[in-house]
Amino acid sequence: MINILFIAFEFPPLSRGGVHRSLAFVKYLPHAGINPIVITLDKESYPDVFDTYGYDELLGKEIRESTDMIHVKAGKISPPSRLQKFLSIYFTIHGNETKYWKNGFYEAVEAAVNKFSPRAIFATVPPFSILPLATEVARKYKLPLILDFRDAWSQWRTVPYGTIFHYWKTLQKERKYLREANAIITTSEQTLNDFKKLHREVPAGKLYYVPNGFNGFLKSWQPIVTNKSEFIIGYVGSFYYSPEARQQMLQPWWRKRGHRILQYIPHKQDWLYRSPYFFFKAIQQLNISDPSIGNKIKIRFAGKIHEWLRDMITSFGLEKQVELMGVISHNESLSFQENCDALLITSAKQIGGRDYSIAGKTFEYLQMQKPIIAFVSDGAQKDLLKKGGTALICDPDNTEESVKSLSGLFRGSIHLNPDNNYLQAHSRQSLTDRLAKIISSQVKNT
């Protein structure tokens, strides 16, 4: 059995989207002869580090109990003033999540190295403030470093960079850590291609694609039953959208005030497309053009309730059709998905380009083998869903065609054809086997 240090700042019982990938790796790596020793943030420090977070003690409990876990507390954090918060965000390149964690982290790594004699270091990000810590300990103990990028650091923005200098500095730091890593993993082929284009001096052989996935096996395909009196369309999780952030992203510089005049973005992303706005627009029109179908549709959201979401529902007159369930546990989420007739997915729009992101929930949706209503722009998410065959692809910018597609799906005139071989290749066990081969190759090279 090969011991590795598995650095995951976010890990259950913290309940956030990124933890499911790490949890699956920890669950399945031992089957491939690799024993992960997990170093993560102690749960007592969650309130000090995260503005908002979910907590689920049952999430992966049996895995956590059978795994070597090292919980590192963050140092005492005093609540920052508004000025301190601004200065911290504006003058920090990596982010400051691990600022009060690193001393305990270094001590934990030293103890783990002495006890377990690890052969490699695996670190998953974000938060990107993990990168200098992981790089330093890999260098100190002369261990191969595998970096897992769940998001594309320099290219991932919901708000603009403070200045072009912030972008250049982030790009420079990103290049530094990519060069120092022995292997780099991305969750979408678009991110992998972006890294190749942005950092041509980083050997392409270092870059690997290991997407997110689902636990277990595919369920049986469940097409729409057309004679039902009610159709439930469900959505799980967050939208990563806010009107204020969108305004900062798209507003021209001459309309901005103060320090925001200097803001910079390498490419524009419209996160309104990540919200249900265009789906609501199509449902509103469906209610008018095909009321016998539209009036049967009920929409349920499981996740954090935002005021902008309430306002958006009201603006489209959908109060009677939409139910906001609030945050639910992961097990409750799986049960919720099983009881839906169809599942909604969206994606941000990169203006003049392709979106890199694939939402983690997408793979659970694929496993459920139910029709996915996909209001998605060009990019990695759309590519995946097309290949999977279970999604009704709707162009957010073409409401008329989207309405026809929705009507056809629920009337039974549009049929979806799952590619089960392609879908089963995205089981987390299969994907973790792929990761294990990458880790083993790095260990053999040292």
Q: Give me the helix-helix angle, 130-140 and 102-116, nearest 10°.
A: 40
Specify the pLDDT at position 78.
Answer: 59
> 328 exposed, middle or buried (CB, 10 Å; 0-12, 13-18, 19+)?
middle
Question: Strands (DSSP E) along 172-286, which ranges?
Answer: 183-186, 207-209, 231-236, 269-270
**Domain 2-213+428-444 belongs to what architecture?**
3-Layer(aba) Sandwich (3.40)
For 141, the token pair is: 């103990």
Question: What CA–CA distance (Å, rounded) separates 415 from 406?
Answer: 11
Query: For the chain, how long is the longest CA-to-CA vector?
Result: 69
List, for residues 211-252, the tens digit of each pLDDT value.
Answer: 999 988 899 999 999 999 999 999 998 888 999 988 888 888
Same fold, 2-213+428-444 and 231-424: yes
CB 423 within 8 A of CB 366: yes
Looking at domain 231-424, what is its CATH homologous superfamily? Glycogen Phosphorylase B; (3.40.50.2000)
Element (H, E) at 301: strand 297-302
Specify the pLDDT at position 253.
Answer: 76
Specify the pLDDT at position 18.
Answer: 86
pTM for the model stands at: 0.89
Whole-Å CA distances, 288 to 205, 282, 300, 307: 54, 10, 21, 26
> 55 exposed, middle or buried (CB, 10 Å; 0-12, 13-18, 19+)?
middle
Element (H, E) at 169: helix 164-180
Domain ranges of the chain: 2-213+428-444, 231-424
Cα 104 to the center of its chain, rounded Å: 27
Question: What CA–CA distance (Å, rounded) separates 436 from 186?
Answer: 15
Flag residues of the chain having pLDDT under 50. none
- Cα Rg for the chain, rounded, in angstroms? 22
